[in-house]
Chain A
Amino acid sequence: SYALTQPPSVSLAPGETARISCVGFNIETKDVQWYQVKPGQAPVLAIYENNNRPSGIPERFSGSSSGNTATLTISGVEAGDEADYYCQVWENISDHVVFGGGTKLTVL
């Protein structure tokens, strides 16, 4: 079955740039979404179809994909960005939605 691999955690200081990777076979051929999940809150779609931001998501959030790696980039991280981030694709052969294992972003 198709698998997506994310680093368990990323830590950085306010104002720095966070880059969260999502590795999957030939992921560049798939549409990748990114979700922000905070405890006790509804998850939020942060990026859809690789590099599109829903309304209400700051321009600091961007996405890219090449080869086997998709990347969520958050420029100038703020304390409010502290959350778990999940990548997600649809695997057409199995017709299954697949999530990455999630990355905990800590703003020091």
Chain B
Amino acid sequence: QVQLQESGPRLLKPSETLSLTCNVSGDSIKTFYWSWIRQSPGKGLEWMGNIHYSGRTNYNSSLKSRLTLSVDTSENQFSLHLPFVTAADTAIYYCARVKTWFGESRNWFDSWGQGILVTVSS
């Protein structure tokens, strides 16, 4: 049974860099694609991007200029880096496992972390 746990700072000031890590247990990070999804207060889910341990990434075009996803296979975790945050980046950030079939992403999410609330405020 895979478990995902987000970690990182919960309060940032505008223009700082948001760095979050998702620790994966119960599964090898090399077996699947992985994703970040966020939910701003009072709004719906927003897909941010997917990553494979090979380095292959797919970003939401609305964030592509700022977002970087990475994988650390030695720690079995993956990370998100989002620089120059603003209040609009205040959200619950979820990491999730992407259903992967014979090495290919099926582009849906079969396991999620509980999420971490990140607030951007001066």
Interface residues of A in 21-65 (CB under 8 A from B): 31, 33, 35, 37, 40-45, 48-49, 54
Apart from A45-B109, A90-B108, 15 more pairs, CB < 8 Å = A31-B106, A35-B45, A35-B109, A37-B39, A40-B114, A42-B4, A42-B112, A42-B115, A43-B45, A43-B96, A45-B111, A48-B108, A88-B109, A97-B107, A99-B46
Which residue of the partner chain, among B44, B58, B110, B111, contacts A101 with CB atoms under 8 Å?
B44
For the complex, is B65 an interface residue (Cβ under 8 Å from A)? no
Q: Within the complex, what minimum Cβ distance (angstroms) separates A88 from chain B?
A: 6
Q: Within the assembled complex, what's the spacing in Å between the Cα atoms of A15 and B61?
A: 42
**Given A94-B61, A96-B47: A44 touches B108 (CB 8 Å cut-off):** no
Contacts of B47 in A (CB 8 A): 96-99
Chain B residues contacting A100 (CB-CB under 8 Å) are 44
Establish whether residues B108 and A102, one from each chain, have CB atoms under 8 Å apart when the complex forms: no
Whether the Cβ atoms of A48 and B44 lie closer than 8 Å is no
Expressed in whole angstroms, the minimum distance between the Cβ of A42 and any Cβ of chain B is 4
- Chain A contact residues (Cβ within 8 angstroms of B): what range? 20 to 34
Interface size on B, residues (CB 8 A): 24
- Contact A96–B46 (Cβ < 8 Å): no
Question: Does B60 have its Cβ within 8 Å of any Cβ on chain A?
Answer: yes
CB distance from B18 to the nearest CB of A (A): 20
Do A44 and B44 touch (CB < 8 A)? Answer: no
User: Is there contact, CB below 8 Å, between B108 and A42?
Assistant: no
- Give the docked Cα–Cα distance between A86 and B61 (Å): 21
B60:A96 contact, CB within 8 angstroms: yes
CB neighbours of B110 from chain A (8 A): 45, 48, 54
B99 contacts A48, CB within 8 Å?
yes
Please name all residues of chain A whose beta carbon is closer than 8 Å to the beta carbon of B83 when the two chains form the complex.
Answer: none
C-alpha spacing A86/B47, complex, angstroms? 12
